[in-house]
Chain A
Amino acid sequence: MRTSLFLFAAATLTASVVSANSLIAPGPQAGIAKSRLGAKPDGEWNRLSRRDGKRVELWTLDGDALNKVVFFAGVPVGEPILREIDKKNRPLPKVAGNMLITDIPALLETTYRSQFAVNQMQIDSQEPALLSGNKGIKFTYSFMRADDEVQRKGEGVGAMVKGQLYLVIYEAPSLYFFDKDLEKFHKLAESLSLS
């Protein structure tokens, strides 16, 4: 019993050291993913300390497997949107300068297929949208990762601004979670701004 308590304490301690996640309080947030991107959430979010890429920031409500918002902020031409796990065997597609708005969801899809062994993914709808006044795209998608085979849905808004990609996506399991927090994401997406 004592040993297991000790192990539990050690694990908790390690957890607090390894994952220094932080609380996002309601109100203006500037410099998301160390970029010009800002937002004004009206509720609390958690920022994960994990970095999936140089220009990526992750927010979640209940943990990133259940709901997450990913900010890809200011990814320049020639760079992938996520950090490449296996550059040699599974290189990721790169942002290109001549991408059309419809190439933004396509880039997300090819990235996911390589990075997360996503073998089923489809872009469900695409329509024009503004990201802080810049012409861009709003799209919905659904996909399944090979590791948990959970059907997830996603929604994103993205634009190329001065040769850099800005893309903010919300993802959650189709069952219950996606609809539960979709409205919170919509409010967050409306509050996006570029300084």
Chain B
Amino acid sequence: MAAIALATPHPLPAAENKASLPPYTPAYEPTTVDERGLWMEADERERRLRDSPLRIREGKLETYLRDVLCREVGQDRCTGVRVYAMEIPSFNATMMPNGAMEVWSGLLLRARDEAELAAVLGHEFAHFELRHAVFGFKNRRGTSDAMAWLSVLGGISNTPVGDTNLSLIGSIYRFNREQETQADLLGLKYLAGAGYPAGSAARIWQSLMAEEDASALGRKQKVQQKYSAGFFDSHPATLMRATYLAKEAANWPSGGDARGKDYDAAIAPYLPRFLAAQIKRNDFGGSEYILQTLSDRSGWTGDLLYARAELHRGRGNPRDLQLASQFYRQAKDAGNTSAELDRNLGLALMRNGQADEGRAALTTYLTAHPDATDAKAINALLAN
């Protein structure tokens, strides 16, 4: 790992010169055999991204994400970058060595303002700019061998290896801890240099830790067990990361504009579907944490109350069903107009044994949507 760090052609500038950025090469072409191979794979993966049904094509989300990146790293650096927004509810963003960046909806649901989003994008851009992928790749050719073998074994034993395959491909783009730290520090320069609050990078990691705690609590597991870096864990432990990022941020002037309002406006059209996907992840504690952080910003809006009702109805304990009906009604009062609101309210009530109220809500749903695809099933529930 030390050798890889030494081989990096753009060592980080000394700490006193914190605003200087690595030299920028426009229209860079891969040079070595390894790098050309890596680019070829990245091009192929980018074609899949471009055509993926998961890509969020509607609206201006991808344009907004690209604008954020450009604001952060500067027009000259971002010109060649392609940004793909993907509807995947986990927290992630990656940038491939060929300059394609992929941002998952789970990140957009969790970042609390534009500065937190920019902190993650800047970090990924730093990996790209420092060409970390190629310097780590030589040492990880072993991964590809394992992948070939797993495919063969999977074919023989008829075990789906898809998931394994994906996670191993992911590991080609995974970086070692030193590289992660370098990217964190360079990312911070982009972030603070662009006028975002320097503390945002530390804040998003702190929030992720809090969410992990909430998830663990919701699943009745011990909290804080993940904070020490495991032997195989390539990322610096989240806690360590939040700590050194906060320390580093203190060297920058305080203040800056987190552009929270612009962020909320850009995400708002997608919020209901991002929330719906999160609620179906079977992670009560984590989802409740996300809803709380969203409500801290906007108050309990109709969208948030509806999502909260869905979350409780999904867990389905008697107290949850009671709360769910309450939240559905509040969501309706707050102006939520989801077609399924009355149906789901009715189902929560029915499941909780409040048959008369439940029937009333289901009838309201059927009256408004007589041709709904589930009308026959709802009618059957009414007849019972």
Contact = CB atoms under 8 A, between A and B. Distances in A.
Interface string A70-105: 000000000000000000101111001011111100
Given A110-B280, A117-B163, A102 B316 contact: no
A125 B372 CA distance: 8
A124 interface: yes
Contact of A120 (B87, B158, B163): B87
B380 interface: yes
Contacts of A148: 162
Contact of A149 (B52, B316, B377, B384): B52
B281 interface: yes
A15 interface: yes
Contacts of A100: 347, 350-351, 381
Nearest to B106: A119
A113 interface: yes
Size band of the interface chain B makes with A: 35 or more
Contacts of A164: none
Interface string B154-165: 001111101101
A113 B373 contact: no
Given A109-B280, A114-B282, A149-B53, A102 B158 contact: no
B323 to A, nearest CB: 16
Given A113-B281, A120-B54, A147-B166, A125 B374 contact: yes
B267 interface: no
B350 A93 contact: no
A98 B351 contact: yes
A110 B313 CA distance: 13
Contacts, number: 106
A150 B280 CA distance: 21
Contacts of B48: 149
A61 interface: no
Interface in A102-142: 102-103, 106, 109-110, 113-114, 116-117, 119-120, 123-128, 135, 137, 139
A102 B160 contact: no
Contacts of B159: 50
Contacts of A22: none
Given A19-B158, A93-B282, A114-B281, A101 B381 contact: yes
A147 B54 contact: no
Contact of B156 (A14, A109, A146): A14
Given A19-B158, A125-B373, A147-B163, A113 B347 contact: no
Interface of B: 48, 52-54, 87-89, 152, 156-160, 162-163, 165-166, 219, 221, 277, 280-282, 314, 316, 347, 350-351, 373-374, 376-381, 384
Interface of A: 11, 14-15, 18-19, 21, 48, 50, 64, 88, 90-93, 96, 98-103, 106, 109-110, 113-114, 116-117, 119-120, 123-128, 135, 137, 139, 144-149, 151
